[in-house]
Amino acid sequence: MTPFVGGTGGSPFTNACNPGELMIGLDVMAGDAIDAVRPICAPPAEWDQSGTGLDRAPSFSGGPGGGLMISQCPQFQFLVGLNLWTGSVVNGLQVVCRDMR
């Protein structure tokens, strides 16, 4: 585990995909900083064959504010990590993807 980053607000949370799904990206609410995130998930067979079957968690984790941005892996890839840009808060993120073939 790496150390926590960002400001003093907020608290740890869990917002995961359903069993049997892969996380293939994040919906991100952001302005000057990352305000909230929610996973974008897909069943492996549907994502591998047609690039469809996307499922989003029912709610965002985090605070209010910002506009919607989508950071998603290309078809046939799934999320394995995040690159974060931080200062006193989390300013940006980039999904790190891996090919599933």
Report the pLDDT value the prediction gives residue 80, as an integer from 0 to 100: 95
Residues of the chain with pLDDT under 70: 1-2, 4-6, 51-53
Report the pLDDT value the prediction gives residue 71, as an integer from 0 to 100: 93
Report the pLDDT value the prediction gives residue 13, as an integer from 0 to 100: 81
Report whether 45 contacts 57 (CB < 8 A).
no
Report the pLDDT value the prediction gives residue 59, as an integer from 0 to 100: 85
Report whether 96 contacts 79 (CB < 8 A).
yes
The chain-wide mean pLDDT, for the chain, equals 86
Report d(CA 14, CA 45) in Å as an integer.
Answer: 25
Task: Write down the pTM of the prediction.
Answer: 0.84
Domain ranges of the chain: 22-99
